[in-house]
Amino acid sequence: MRVQLAAANWKMNLNLNEAIELAQILVKETGSLKEHQQVLMAVPFPYLMEIKKITDQHPHFHVAGQNLASTPNGAYTGEVSAEILQSIGIKYVLIGHSERREYFAESHELLKMKVDRALMHQINPVFCCGEPLSVREANQQNEWVAKQLRDSLFHLSPDQMHGFIIAYEPIWAIGTGKTASSDQAQEMHQFIRQTLTNQYGSNIADSVSILYGGSVKANNAVELFSKSDVDGGLVGGASLIANEFSAIIGSLKS
């Protein structure tokens, strides 16, 4: 079975004490997980080392960066390089989150460079893709997402794509009052996997974990994760509530 992931994105939330308390509760209350089940916690940069001490206590928990620079070390005030993340033992990083694309105008080419930087330093990217409401309403979501994948990922070799992680974010269903059904999630995940198959073949495509990032909560995780091409979730607000995220972890395919 493909790796199934519950990925928490804390964004710019929690003070240090709150972050430590949440991580401790999650690690303590999560029992044994199967080999193919993993938990990621993407935390604010200042907390990475403190939270990593906690996640290291559970073999299936990992801490992740929320972003990294597209450039190597140098005169880039405020940036965090892949080399810096590697030096403190970070193995995962979010790249191309919808908020980075929208608020910071991150282009496909920039994200391509970030993916390369991460892989160069043995950091696993969690590559985010997805369409806004206007694109969904125009029924152009497939073309939109395919271009995101093609422009930022399809320069990678089959070996680099094996076991890759992609997170699909239906931006139109996050904070808009509109809801994406589990069938809509499966439809897009299936399309993403078919797009990968067309480029790399079925063996590589079937190894890629595709997470759903559209307002995953405890009350919809089981239904979402039951879909054949949904391999877990990238969770925002619900990941800040211990019992909510614990339930989401427990909803991963076994």
Distances (CA, A) of 240 to 44, 52, 197: 13, 17, 35
Is 20 within 8 Å of 54 (Cβ atoms)?
yes
The residue count of the chain comes to: 254
- What does the block give as tokens for 75? 């005169």
Sign of the C-alpha dihedral computed for residues 99, 103, 104 and 108 taken in this order = positive
Could you give the residue numbers annotated as active site?
97, 169
- What does the block give as tokens for 238? 């619900």
Sign of the C-alpha dihedral computed for residues 166, 178, 39 and 228 taken in this order = negative
Is 92 within 8 Å of 65 (Cβ atoms)?
yes
Distances (CA, A) of 225 to 4, 5, 108, 178, 187: 9, 10, 28, 20, 13
Largest CA distance in the chain: 47
Reported as type and span, the H/E element at residue 210 is: strand 209-212
Q: Which residue is listed with tokens 């890629």?
A: 208
